[in-house]
Amino acid sequence: MSTTTHDTRDGREIADVVVTSFGYGHSPAPEADLTLDARRHLRNPHHDPAMRTLTGLDRVVREHVLATPGAQATITTAITFARDLHAQVNGQRLVTIAVGCVGGRHRSVAIAAEVVAGLNACGLDALVAHRDVGRPVIQT
């Protein structure tokens, strides 16, 4: 599942911020203003056989990731960064955030979605793109 976010209307971007989830195990991180690496500090749902084939779009996985100590601080930091950078560039360009985990199916998807929800709640037009969520589970 990938969301196209770089369409334009009347020559301008349709979003203030784009947050992309991705998996380091599939290809390098996309270029971004801020890249968050969720591999080391967030619990990995992949280790639970019941969640392995699910994604961060599934409630049980999202709740598992968001209950990890430090997850909320990571989300808050990303939201603050995006808001501050958007103000600094005076809305003249797209602000980009990338959130990565091993496979791009669990942690990065849940965190990216929460960052977008927080940015939208702050009044910014934020969109999410899940680069690797539809790819096969990486066997570890």
Q: Is the pLDDT of residue 74 over 70?
A: yes
Q: How many domains does the chain have?
A: 1
Residue 136 included in any domain: no
Alpha-carbon span 107 to 134, nearest angstrom = 14
Enumerate residues 6+ apart whose C-beta is below 8 A from 10: none
What pTM does this model have?
A: 0.89
State which residues form the domain around 98.
11-130
Model pLDDT for residues 17-43, shown as the tens digit of each residue = 999 999 999 999 999 999 999 999 999
Q: Which residues touch 9 (CB under 8 Å, ≥6 apart)?
A: none
Arithmetic mean of pLDDT, 89-94: 92
Is 38 contained in some domain? yes
pLDDT reading at 89 higher than 70 = yes
**Residue 23: inside a domain:** yes
Residue 68, amino acid: T
pLDDT single digits (tens) 106-120: 999 999 999 999 999
